[in-house]
């Protein structure tokens, strides 16, 4: 029995390592797509799209591994929480990969020499760098089971939300010919996808808190803005 339990723990640890390793694939894709965006590099954007197969493959590997583990074992308590959290983590990894692909697919639409706006590009680059940091920290806090570090993701995400709003209003202000306005609308979509990517990183932080405490709480709740990480929404009854 002890030997079987040890094998189970080892397999679960491998699945966690593979799931969190998916975040490294995401940050690599994010760095590439940001570079492609800044230099209008259509070939690099195509590589980001093709490389998403690796993220999808990691998702299938971890997801199927967890289902197989559940079929063969009956995890309880902390182990069960970890299994449930890893299913959510790998789902967020796959979504973040898709958001990088969404950005990459926009790049060829602007042509090789699209109109550009220096301030907009700077804000997008800032958002991307902050989002990359958020993704990395989400993996670290989960690996360390660090609830305080997980809650800190919300603070960093607030800056990304602010930049997203600034990009939206800047896109509305950019005038000129139809091509310039179309490019600005594309950048508004890029900002939105970067904001969603960061949100997925925060969601991984929420899974960290779930593994540690056994209670799932959203760090922020749009329908209850008075709720903060320091005053979580508690279920009634």
pLDDT (tens digit per residue) in 83-138: 999 999 999 999 999 999 999 999 998 766 778 889 999 999 999 999 999 999 99
Whether 220 is covered by a domain: the verdict is no
Higher pLDDT, 57 or 174: 57
User: 125 lies in a domain?
Assistant: yes
Query: Is 110 inside a domain boundary?
Result: yes
What CA–CA distance (Å, rounded) separates 70 from 148? 30
Is the predicted pLDDT of residue 235 greater than 90, yes or no?
no
Residue 224 lies in a domain: no
Question: Which range of residues forms the domain containing residue 53?
Answer: 2-213
Q: What pTM did the predictor assign?
A: 0.89
Burial class from Cβ neighbours inside 10 Å (0-12, 13-18, 19+) for residue 54 reads middle
Return left, alpha or beta for 181; rule: phi > 0 is left, psi -120 to 50 is alpha, else beta: alpha
Instruction: Provide the CATH number for the domain around residue 56.
Output: 1.20.58.220
Considering the domain boundaries, does residue 37 fall inside one? Answer: yes
**Residue 174 near residue 113 (C-beta atoms within 8 A):** no
How many domains would you assign to the chain? 1
Distance CA 110, CA 7 (A): 52
Is 237 a member of any domain?
A: no
Asked if residue 229 is part of any domain, the answer here is: no
Residue 55 C-alpha from the chain's centroid: 12
Question: What confidence category does residue 77 fall into, taking pLDDT thresholds of 50, 70 and 90?
Answer: confident
Q: In this predicted structure, which of 62-76, 120-134, 191-205 has the lowest mean pLDDT?
A: 62-76
CB 116 within 8 A of CB 180: no
32 is a domain residue: yes
């Amino acid at each position: 029995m002890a030997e079987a339990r040890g094998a189970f723990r080892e397999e679960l640890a491998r699945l966690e390592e593979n799931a969190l390793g998916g975040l490294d694939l995401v940050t690599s894709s994010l760095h590439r797509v940001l570079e492609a965006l800044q230099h209008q590099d259509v070939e690099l954007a195509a590589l980001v799209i093709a490389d998403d197969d690796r993220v999808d493959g990691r998702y299938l590997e971890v997801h199927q591994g967890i289902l197989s583990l559940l079929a063969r074992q009956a995890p309880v308590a902390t182990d069960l929480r970890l299994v449930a959290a890893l299913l959510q983590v790998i789902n967020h990894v796959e979504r973040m990969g898709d958001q990088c692909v969404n950005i990459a697919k926009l790049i060829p639409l602007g042509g090789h020499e699209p109109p550009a706006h220096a301030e907009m590009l700077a804000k997008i680059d800032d958002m991307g760098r902050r989002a990359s940091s958020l993704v990395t920290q989400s993996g670290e806090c989960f690996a360390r089971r660090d609830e305080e570090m997980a809650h800190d993701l919300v603070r960093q995400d607030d800056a990304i939300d602010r930049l997203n709003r600034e990009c939206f209003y800047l896109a509305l202000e950019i005038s000129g010919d139809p091509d310039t306005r179309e490019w600005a609308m594309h950048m508004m979509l890029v900002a939105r996808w970067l904001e969603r990517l960061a949100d997925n990183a925060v969601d991984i932080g929420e899974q960290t808190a779930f593994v540690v405490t056994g209670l799932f709480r959203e760090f922020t709740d749009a329908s209850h803005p008075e709720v903060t990480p320091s005053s979580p929404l508690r279920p009634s009854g």
